[in-house]
Structure 1
């Protein structure tokens, strides 16, 4: 994988991980309830779920590439359009972002198990990866190597971002709960998603 392609993916993966979602809510909730250190197993659990999604996505994309180059090109265009649509939806999102503190303490294993299930049961994650991966995969090069690079990059970035959210929540819980702040975050990341989609579409022209 060329360095400029990887760097472009790193930028996109950072936006993907930073955008508020179920994993973010879980990380902030754990940070508020348990602190950073006790939440590390939950962060690991989120990455286990994400890694499983990556493997599932790759099996589908690999089969698609093997069967039809045209179909692969189509899904790349659909993926770019999806990023723009996701940005519009995120811009318009007015949902609350209140992380509830737990009334009872969970063990580290329980926190990890809960986090794995949160990511595994999040269909938006796997759909996003289906839209994202083909933008950065060269069908003419070794597929497995590219998957490993993208997968490891995705998991590493997401782990650091979730750690950041957890640590921030542990120190600034009241600020993070603000609906006004959440609205601003949605608009910022909505704009980023639309920008990424537009750039990907322009690169194919």
Structure 2
């Protein structure tokens, strides 16, 4: 694969990941609610979720989802329900004045799992990869080698994008000292996540 084949994919991917979606919203919400430590944990979950979704699509799961309306609908509802659940949890999250180190490991693990699940359980992403990646593959070169490079490129860009959103949001959080403001942020983020879940639930297969 030549640089001329890779560059258009990298540019298109950079534009794609920069557009805020449920994953970016989750990253921002946790960064605002819990600070930089958990922003990094969330970013790691997003990265692993992207790897899972893209690898699954490359192995043919995307084709299966595109062909099976029942499977697609089931996965869509699971992902939508999970987003709504996370939104409710964030909306109801208590505001704490200081970090509790005794809860750090458990909370970090849960946040990582949430970020991973939201990213990996997105059928639209899986199907998108199946439709998106082949457009940039050079038919005269080894396909699998190209797909590995494309996947690595996309995951790196998506991870850097999520980290950037997270660091900006966590920096904004440090400027906030009012418990009322923090509670408002949590509830706003939770409401947006619930809205994203509802949107995912009504999103039509034909829009993929």
TM-score, normalisation: structure 2: 0.60
Deviates more, 1:159-168 or 1:99-108: 99-108
Displaced runs of 4 or more, over 3 A: 99-102
TM-superposed deviation, 1:123: 1.7
Output aligned runs, 1:1-205, within 5 Å: 1-60=1-60, 102-103=93-94, 107-172=107-172
User: 1:121-179, CA deviations, whole angstroms, 9 ceiling, x for partnerless residues?
Assistant: 212211221221011112331122101110110110001000011111123469xx89x
SS in 2 for 1:138: coil
CA RMSD of aligned residues (A): 2.7
Structure 2: which 5+ runs fail to align? 64-89, 96-102, 177-184, 189-208
In the alignment, is the contact (CA less than 8 A) between 2:50 and 2:119 conserved in 1?
A: yes
Between Structure 1 and Structure 2, how many residues are aligned?
141
TM-superposed deviation, 1:38: 2.4
Structure 1: which 5+ runs fail to align? 64-98, 179-205
Find the aligned partners of 1:163 and 1:102 in 2 and give their Cα distance: 23
